Chain A
Amino acid sequence: MSGRRHNTHFQRMLVAYDGSSQSEKAVELAFSLAECIDSTVLVFAVARPPEPATSVELGAVLDDAREHYEEGFKKIREKARAHNLEVKTDIAVGHPGEQIIHRAELEGIDLIILGRRGRSMISRMMLGSASERVLRYAHCPVMVVH
């Protein structure tokens, strides 16, 4: 691990991943940070069920989300291997903001990195912004990538 600095602040990082270009940027940034300061990275995706959930649609949405994220995770793991980084991937179900905050606490994460999605005003009112919620409630520093 030559050229890497040991740090005491950001030993464990969580990157929120949803397959968007912003989340790809967040992953890239996390990798470059992890390379510099020798941290572990958890790439974390959240499948959001439609509201209100209906029985057959819920199963379909979750299956599709798992497939979609696993495809993205494959590429991320390959990239991590190439950079010699320790990377974990996982998928949860629920509200993205809530799940990110909860997982960060459970895993003792020191830094959350996420991309900011350019949602419309109506969409933000209906769904709430995951990044705003994470900023508001997270127990650790949060980095939002534009």
Chain B
Amino acid sequence: MQNVWVLASLWVGLALIATLLAVWFKISTALTEIVVGTVAQLIISAFAVQGDLGAKSEWITFLAGTGAIVLTFLAGAELDPVIFRAKWKESTIVGLVGFVGPFLGCTAVAHYVLHWTTRSSWLAGVALSTTSVAVVYAVMLELGFNVTDFGKAILAACFVNDLGTVIALGLIFSPFTIRTVIFIVVSVALFVVLPFLTPRFFRKYGGRVSELEAKYLLFILFAMGGLAVWSGSEAVLPAYVIGMVLAGTVGKDHILIRRLRTLTFGLLTPFYFIRAGAFVSVPALAAAPLVFVALFFGKMVSKVIGLFPTVKAFKYEREEGLYFTLMMSTGLTFGTISALFGLNHGIIDQAQYSHLVATVIGSAVIPTMIANAWFLPRHLLHKSGEEKPVSQAVTLSAERGTP
């Protein structure tokens, strides 16, 4: 498709459909965008002789890449540095185990069970090593654990887990050269300087209609992304750490974060997630469904083996709900970023990419589906494990105003 505006309208139209589906079914927009991208690509491949969604167009790649970078930055900026400083010991150990368990476990499953190449297997390990901070946080809010020491430590651990994923993605697949050294030195210097420089710069020049803050942040993110790619690494690595180091300053600027969210959700992430979905091959998934099963259970088992004794060692054994969520949930953002990185760099092929994305989605969706299908309010489950008797019910028509 040569006409840029026709192609843009097609993609934004798909984003609109995905958003409507998310609204109707109360599911995350990221998930519906991936699925809509997959289905749209499938339909176009089936009915158009030479057509595709244009997912490899330069401008779509740029928008999608920017979406991944800004999304990763915002995810990092949600860290609460005060909590992290208070709970750094437990969080670091639980987070590292949460990362290392599935990283090694899924790598082993991919290599020894599925017979993927060594690099493909490492990539599978990275993509499935994440833990969704958001899923864990949502469960904590529901259970009221977000204000407890246990909840805060677990949440900080999720950030450490994802940091492990991002560092592994950024360093494992890049050759260690002088460029890597330059990238690391510049990154560390910037991570030290930014928390001091940024708030002062914003205080002096910020708060104007010209959105200086957004331009400043995009400049830093693009520049560091460029340096990362130049050194053979991945642009989201510095973006996540920049988000984390600015969490205590920029992360607390509610208005700025809301503006960045608008930019991200309105324009950037639809391109990122629809593009991620467009590369998923449904025929490849249908041809080898057991690959999904092997990766899914590989992730679950390795998470449980790693985290169960660790969480128990910190005497958190009573809060089962939370650490089961921690064990099972996979972050859609980091999971798909890792898989897409592998596809773009020829580390995995399209079939392997499709299985990884399906596993990432599966491990995010299946626990939720199970919870909804066998629904019983959690606090009642803790009490008796039995369904309570049906309450007395009165149905009343407001129009008539009588029972």
Chain A contact residues, CB within 8 Å of chain B? 25-26, 28-29, 48-60, 62-63, 92-95, 97-99, 101-102, 105, 122-123, 126-128, 133, 135-146
Q: Are A56 and B27 in contact (CB under 8 A)?
A: no
B39 close to chain A: CB less than 8 A: no
Q: Shortest beta-carbon distance, B46 to chain A, in Å?
A: 25
| Interface residue tally for chain B (C-beta within 8 Å) | 53
User: Knowing that A51-B368, A54-B28, A133-B375 are A-B contacts, what are 5 other residue pairs whose CB atoms are under 8 Å apart, sorted by A's residue number?
Assistant: A52-B31, A55-B132, A98-B378, A137-B391, A142-B392
Contact of A50 among B29, B78, B142, B397 (CB under 8 A): B29
- A-B contacts counted at CB < 8 A amount to 154
The CA of A127 and the CA of B26, in the complex, are separated in Å by: 8
B364 close to chain A: CB less than 8 A: yes
Q: Are B333 and A54 in contact (CB under 8 A)?
A: yes
Q: Are A94 and B379 in contact (CB under 8 A)?
A: no
The CA of A141 and the CA of B389, in the complex, are separated in Å by: 12
Q: Are A143 and B394 in contact (CB under 8 A)?
A: yes
Q: Are A93 and B393 in contact (CB under 8 A)?
A: no
Q: Are A56 and B261 in contact (CB under 8 A)?
A: yes
The CA of A68 and the CA of B74, in the complex, are separated in Å by: 23
Secondary structure call for the A interface:
helix
* B138: chain A residues within 8 A (beta carbon): 49, 53, 58, 93-94
* B394: chain A residues within 8 A (beta carbon): 141-144
B75 close to chain A: CB less than 8 A: yes
* B27: chain A residues within 8 A (beta carbon): 50-52, 126
The CA of A54 and the CA of B365, in the complex, are separated in Å by: 12
* A48: chain B residues within 8 A (beta carbon): 26
CB contact under 8 A between A53 and B395, given known A58-B134, A102-B379? no
Q: Are A146 and B397 in contact (CB under 8 A)?
A: yes
The CA of A133 and the CA of B153, in the complex, are separated in Å by: 32
Q: Are A55 and B74 in contact (CB under 8 A)?
A: yes
Q: Shortest beta-carbon distance, A91 to chain B, in Å?
A: 11
Closest 4 CB pairs of A and B: A94-B142, A53-B134, A93-B141, A52-B364
- Residue interface bits B380-403, CB-to-A below 8 A is 1, else 0: 100000011011111111110100
Q: Shortest beta-carbon distance, A92 to chain B, in Å?
A: 8
Sample 19 A-B pairs with CB under 8 A, ordered by A number: A49-B138, A50-B28, A51-B28, A54-B332, A55-B134, A56-B74, A57-B29, A57-B30, A58-B137, A60-B258, A63-B258, A93-B142, A101-B380, A123-B25, A126-B25, A127-B372, A137-B387, A138-B391, A146-B395
* A51, closest chain B residue (CB): B368
* A51: chain B residues within 8 A (beta carbon): 26-28, 365, 368
Within 8 A of A (CB), among B279-338: 329, 331-333
* A145: chain B residues within 8 A (beta carbon): 396-398
Name the residue among B264, B375, B378 with the largest chain A CB count within 10 angstroms: B375
The CA of A137 and the CA of B368, in the complex, are separated in Å by: 20
* B390: chain A residues within 8 A (beta carbon): 135-136
Contact of B137 among A53, A63, A141 (CB under 8 A): A53
* B391: chain A residues within 8 A (beta carbon): 135-142
Q: Shortest beta-carbon distance, A103 to chain B, in Å?
A: 10
Q: Are B22 and A60 in contact (CB under 8 A)?
A: no
Q: Shortest beta-carbon distance, A93 to chain B, in Å?
A: 4
CB contact under 8 A between A54 and B265, given known A59-B78, A143-B395, A144-B393? no
The CA of A29 and the CA of B216, in the complex, are separated in Å by: 53
* A105: chain B residues within 8 A (beta carbon): 379
* B380, closest chain A residue (CB): A137
Name the residue among A49, A55, A123, A143 with the largest chain B CB count within 10 angstroms: A55
The CA of A99 and the CA of B142, in the complex, are separated in Å by: 8
CB contact under 8 A between A142 and B393, given known A56-B71, A137-B387? yes
The CA of A75 and the CA of B71, in the complex, are separated in Å by: 36
Q: Are A97 and B377 in contact (CB under 8 A)?
A: yes
* B331: chain A residues within 8 A (beta carbon): 54-55
The CA of A62 and the CA of B257, in the complex, are separated in Å by: 14
Q: Are A135 and B28 in contact (CB under 8 A)?
A: no
Q: Shortest beta-carbon distance, A145 to chain B, in Å?
A: 5
Q: Shortest beta-carbon distance, A27 to chain B, in Å?
A: 10
Q: Are A94 and B333 in contact (CB under 8 A)?
A: no
